Structure 1
Amino acid sequence: MNVLEWLFDAQLVIGDQTILWREVIGNGFGIASAIGGMRRKIWAWPVGIVGNALLFTVFLGAVFGTPNPVNLLGQASRQIMFIAVSVYGWVRWSQTRRRVDVATGMSVAVQPRWAGARIRVALVVAMVVGTAILTPIFTALGSFEPVWADAWIFVGSLLATWGMAKGWTEFWLIWVAVDIVGVPLLLSAGYYASAILFIFYGAFTLWGFFTWVKVQRGQTQALPA
């Protein structure tokens, strides 16, 4: 059996629960990508893409015949969205990878900045309207209930990833909103490994937010008077 076959079939049994190693490893890549994003390292994007590819197969449980035959269409389709937006972020950060942080003197791929009041309002509106539009679509396709939560996670993930590519510090807070809805949905659908890691993500995204805020303050203080 080669590595790919093992990765696709390997399972972790805990009591009466069966967890796919793909789910654990895919979320591990996601955590690594988040750490890279907090440190503003360009490798965060390709690492995240690997995790997205693995999780795509996990969240289509009924399609791939996994022990948990539940389709979370929003979760699965957002992995494709992640890959597309990550390519954009990868290219964007590559164009500025030689930028020097004025506070630390280190080379970074992006300088954190506030999106501004107008963009914040637009993000909130996009979150609500996007969820409202996708909910009936995901319902028709047979996504797991409550479908609005699946749609919320998809839209929030899109906006957060786009915000990270732009260097907007607010993108961390969008991830918090995604995690708050994502944890109970994943638990009810039986994706326990992802639910546990979403709890970790929630704490980590708050840390990432305050880290970027600190970086911004350092940039301001380092600027000549």
Structure 2
Amino acid sequence: MLGWLFDAQVTIAGHPILWREIIGNLFGLASAIGGMRRQIWAWPVGITANVLLFTVFLGGVFSTPQAVDLYGQAGRQVFFIVVSVYGWVQWRRTRQASGGEGPAVIPRWAGRTGWIQIGTVAVVGTVVFAYIFRALDSYGPWADAWIFTGSLLATYGMARGWTEFWLIWIAVDAVGVPLLLRAGYYPSAVLYLVYAVVVAYGFTVWLRAQRAERPSIDPAAESSPAAVG
């Protein structure tokens, strides 16, 4: 069964496409929808997607039809798994603290300190990883570096319950779609477009939940170290 999943392909418009790329992206989409609904199962479903897509984006290593190595795309799957385990634990603790009845996370703004942290990591991370990926001869190193850095920030923000993480995903998708189209990863590019719609809607869902469930919290107050640490 695993051997079939690893090698199975389908040809669409003359382009061979791996089933594990399609399945991995569908699991990723399911995880995004679960995150929008603040369901704990979003994390293990996302981890499954990460494992599948890791093998897809190392095209030269795993002999995919594209034979293109996107080290940022592949590397972020590994970090996704680590951050997803953290998010899984955090959301379970929140749910258990409410007696199993409340939401797994209560959305909130990151606050001024959080915004500074996000901006700093976004700039420094993109520059550092761009040079690393270029040294590794990764395809589209600068775009790949931002996708890598932005994706980690968004996943961490989701684990923390920061409403802004949806906006980071939109910025990642805006860069990811052109990169994946140029590299020939068509299912991933199409799913990125679908993700963009889902995350835009997810932002409005979390924003409404934030206003309904934390009406007395002033966003400025959340900038204190205790709120974002």
Q: TM-score, normalised by structure 1?
A: 0.92
What amino acid is aligned across from residue 30 of structure 2 in structure 1?
A
Q: Give 1:32's aligned residue.
A: 30
CA distance in 2, matches of 1:59, 1:205: 23
Could you tell me whether the CA contact under 8 Å between 1:163 and 1:171 is conserved in 2? yes
Could you tell me whether the CA contact under 8 Å between 1:70 and 1:144 is conserved in 2? yes
1:1-225 maps to which residues of 2 (within 5 A)? 3-98=1-96, 107-145=102-140, 147-220=141-214
Aligned partner of residue 29 in structure 1, secondary structure? helix
Aligned partner of residue 13 in structure 1, secondary structure? strand
- C-alpha deviation, 1:107, in angstroms: 2.6
- C-alpha deviation, 1:221, in angstroms: 5.1
Q: Give 2:225's aligned residue.
A: none
- C-alpha deviation, 1:162, in angstroms: 0.5
Could you tell me whether the CA contact under 8 Å between 1:61 and 1:69 is conserved in 2? yes
CA distance in 2, matches of 1:185, 1:99: 42
Q: Give 2:227's aligned residue.
A: none
Any runs of at least 4 consecutive aligned residues in structure 1 with deviations exceeding 6 A, and if so which? none
What amino acid is aligned across from residue 33 of structure 1 in structure 2?
S
Could you tell me whether the CA contact under 8 Å between 1:156 and 1:175 is conserved in 2? yes
Q: Give 1:103's aligned residue.
A: none
- C-alpha deviation, 1:118, in angstroms: 2.2
- C-alpha deviation, 1:60, in angstroms: 0.4
CA distance in 1, matches of 2:97, 2:174: 34
CA distance in 2, matches of 1:84, 1:220: 29
Could you tell me whether the CA contact under 8 Å between 1:42 and 1:93 is conserved in 2? yes
- C-alpha deviation, 1:46, in angstroms: 0.4
Could you tell me whether the CA contact under 8 Å between 1:160 and 1:175 is conserved in 2? yes
Q: TM-score, normalised by structure 2?
A: 0.91
Structure 2 gaps of 5+ residues are 218-229
What amino acid is aligned across from residue 145 of structure 2 in structure 1?
A
Aligned partner of residue 16 in structure 2, secondary structure? strand
Aligned length: 216
What amino acid is aligned across from residue 71 of structure 1 in structure 2?
D
**Relative contact order, CA 8 A, sep 6+: which one is greater?**
2
Could you tell me whether the CA contact under 8 Å between 1:99 and 1:108 is conserved in 2? no
- C-alpha deviation, 1:94, in angstroms: 1.0
CA distance in 1, matches of 2:68, 2:205: 37
CA distance in 1, matches of 2:153, 2:12: 35
Change (3 A) 1:99 1:204: farther
Task: Give the percent of matched residue pairs that are identical in Structure 1 and Structure 2.
Answer: 61
- C-alpha deviation, 1:98, in angstroms: 3.6
Farther-moved stretch of structure 1 (149-158 vs 211-220): 211-220
- C-alpha deviation, 1:67, in angstroms: 1.1
